[in-house]
């Protein structure tokens, strides 16, 4: 039986992106942060500093909104020198044919039930990415190491769980067992996938889970790497609650 890990896990969704601000499905599209998003990342770093959370290592996706957010957080913590690892396994969900589309327009065309299923259910997925868009992504050097069929044409959240779990088991868990403070800067859906594994969420609980931008979420663990507090603890719970409600309402207003 392993000894109780001393490690801490901090999850941060990137700051607001231009697609977030426009109310669009983003997926693997590589969009930048807004000025507000840069401010959210800076505030995340300040909050972590106030709570004495100094990461030893950082993991991000390969998309710029996470790369830049993590850099800003580390700058505020005066930790820009620590190791940073980037992986496609932490990328946002591949939204396929919905990529770049207005969430409000999709809801109006498809109806609330289908729209909510595409956004929040564990198993539903929209149509695939157009062949020419998929070919362009598969030619991107960031994804050269992906084996088999390569970049997915579309994903459900269950597909995301399948790609996040190996990174949790092979990389993140070991760092936590070694006593490190680990920062993961990723996306709304890659963090939902990871949290669903950590907290052993039911399908219904997955549907109700919304991760706000720029809100640090702290997990501590027992000796078996089970969370001591299911759902973790937001460093600013009031702000996170309001922001999560706004995420849930996307496309409905």
Catalytic residues: 14, 92
Which residues sit opposite 85 in a β-bridge? Answer: 59
Q: Phi and psi at residue 101, in whole multiples of 5°?
A: -85, 150
Would you give the end-to-end CA distance of the chain in angstroms?
A: 51
β-sheet with 84-86: strand ranges across: 84-86, 57-60, 181-186, 8-13, 217-219, 233-234
* Integer Cα distance of 71 and 42 in angstroms: 9
List of E strands, the chain = 8-13, 57-60, 84-86, 181-186, 217-219, 233-234
User: 99: buried, middle or exposed (CB in 10 Å: 19+, 13-18, 0-12)?
Assistant: buried
DSSP reduced 3-state for 140: coil
Q: Do residues 126 and 97 touch, judged by C-beta distance below 8 A? A: yes
Give residues with Cβ within 8 angstroms of 167, minimum separation 6. Answer: 59, 87, 89, 90
Q: Do residues 17 and 26 touch, judged by C-beta distance below 8 A? A: yes
Residue 226 Cα to chain centre, angstroms: 20
């Amino acid at each position: 039986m392993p000894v109780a890990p001393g490690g801490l896990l901090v999850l941060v969704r990137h700051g607001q992106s231009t697609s977030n601000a426009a109310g669009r499905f983003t997926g693997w599209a590589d969009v930048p942060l807004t000025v507000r998003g840069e401010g959210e990342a800076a505030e995340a770093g300040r909050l972590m500093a106030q709570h004495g959370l100094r990461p030893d290592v950082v993991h991000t996706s390969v998309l710029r909104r996470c790369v830049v957010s993590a850099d800003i957080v580390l700058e505020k913590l005066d930790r820009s020198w620590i190791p940073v690892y980037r992986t496609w396994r932490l990328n946002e969900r591949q939204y396929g044919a919905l990529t770049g589309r207005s969430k409000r327009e999709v809801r109006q065309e498809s109806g609330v039930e289908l729209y909510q299923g595409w956004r929040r259910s564990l198993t539903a997925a929209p149509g695939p990415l157009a062949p020419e868009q998929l070919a362009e992504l598969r030619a991107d050097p960031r994804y050269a190491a992906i084996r088999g069929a390569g970049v997915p044409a579309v994903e459900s959240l269950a597909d995301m769980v399948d790609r996040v779990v190996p990174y949790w088991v092979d990389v993140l868990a070991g760092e936590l067992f070694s006593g490190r403070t680990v920062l993961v800067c990723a996306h709304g859906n890659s963090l939902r996938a990871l949290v669903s594994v950590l907290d052993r969420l039911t399908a219904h609980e997955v549907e109700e889970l919304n991760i706000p931008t720029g809100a640090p979420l702290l997990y501590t663990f027992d000796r078996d790497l089970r969370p001591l507090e299911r759902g973790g603890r937001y460093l600013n719970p009031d702000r996170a609650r309001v922001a999560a409600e706004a995420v849930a309402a996307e496309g409905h207003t």
